[in-house]
Amino acid sequence: MLSKKNILIFFIFALSFSAGIACHKRQIQKHEIFLNKINNKTYKSIIATVKDIKSLENKRNSVYLELNWESENKNISLYTNNGYDLEVGDKIEIKNATFKKPNNQDFVKYLIKENIATTLFINKLDYDIIEIPKYSVARWLHNKKNNILNSLKAKMSPILFTAFSSIFLGYKNLSKEIENGIKNKFKEWGIMHILARSGLHLIIFLLMCSFLLKFIPVHFFIKQLIILLITIIYALLSWTSTSFLRALCALILYKICPFIGKKTDAVHIVTVICLGILILNPEQIFFLDFQLSFLLTFSLAIISKIEVRKKRKHIEKSTLKPLYNK
């Protein structure tokens, strides 16, 4: 007979699985409806806000824009040969934009995963800036990140800059020739996984912070708050990935739990983060970066928990054995 606890666990698993399928199906349907709506349609005017902008390193005179289409409340990726005067936060009017539905379904799934509705390719973008914000946190962060990047680029050799910005800043818009050369070397050494920005690099950063804070005579909880604040600033001034986001959320939960009097459990924390990401974007589960990141983390957390239980039982036996002998 199954216990009540096992029945409850099975019920929760079945409910979560069914809800996940329903959410994913709804996500795909909504995206399909939107693509069919705009397919082969020319819009005389689109009002959008610039969310991100960067010059493409490997394509001369090319600019990538991530826009929020206000009337549809959708994100658009736009590739063009002009638009260098635009900044994050600017509200612009795009004229005569023609949309086409992508034929590649894998590409469509990738767009859904990245929370992008569709992609536009316009050689010369016809636009007007209709509003520039007086204050914009997003613009300040974007400019600050680029200033840091340009400062590092000026002081480092091309190879060192490519490796450092890719590993510790998560910046991927780099020279492919240099990047491929570094990747080939790392493949030869069998340490290719180090190039993928993940929790490992966040832990290195945290260890450095913890070491420096050892010399500051303040309370333990204040040190934890300082580390948490520094880590959040570091995340805001870099480019995130799925594995880095998972590690960051885990760190935040680990640091917050002691303040609210809760015990930390690695399996529970990873489960909460995994469910949170899938609730926001169910399509993530079908991509390799998400699968490998969480599969490895879950495995390590479960193995660690089993080992702790074994050690605890061994200690209890070794402690109680002399008592039984008496």
Q: Check residue 90 and give its pLDDT.
A: 92
For residue range 39-69, list pLDDT tens digits in order.
989 899 999 999 988 877 666 557 888 899 9
Residue 2: per-residue pLDDT: 63
Complete edge-to-edge strand list for the sheet that includes strand 63-69: 118-122, 74-80, 63-69, 41-55, 91-99, 127-131
Question: What pLDDT shows up at residue 93?
Answer: 92
Residues of the chain with pLDDT under 70: 1-2, 57-61, 175, 179, 190-196, 316, 319-326
Q: What is the pLDDT of residues 144-175, one digit of tens each?
A: 998 998 898 888 888 888 878 887 888 877 76
Q: Is the dihedral of CA 251, 257, 258, 263 positive or negative?
A: negative
Using an 8 Å Cβ cutoff, are 87 and 139 in contact? yes
pLDDT at 33: 92
pTM listed for this prediction: 0.77
Helix 137-155 with 158-167: angle, nearest 10 deg: 140
Domain 27-134 has CATH 3.30.70.360: no
Domain ranges of the chain: 27-134, 138-195, 199-312
Asked if residues 80 and 29 have their Cβ atoms less than 8 Å apart, the reply is no
- 4-38 helix and 105-113 helix, angle to the nearest 10 degrees: 120
The overall average pLDDT reported for the chain is: 83
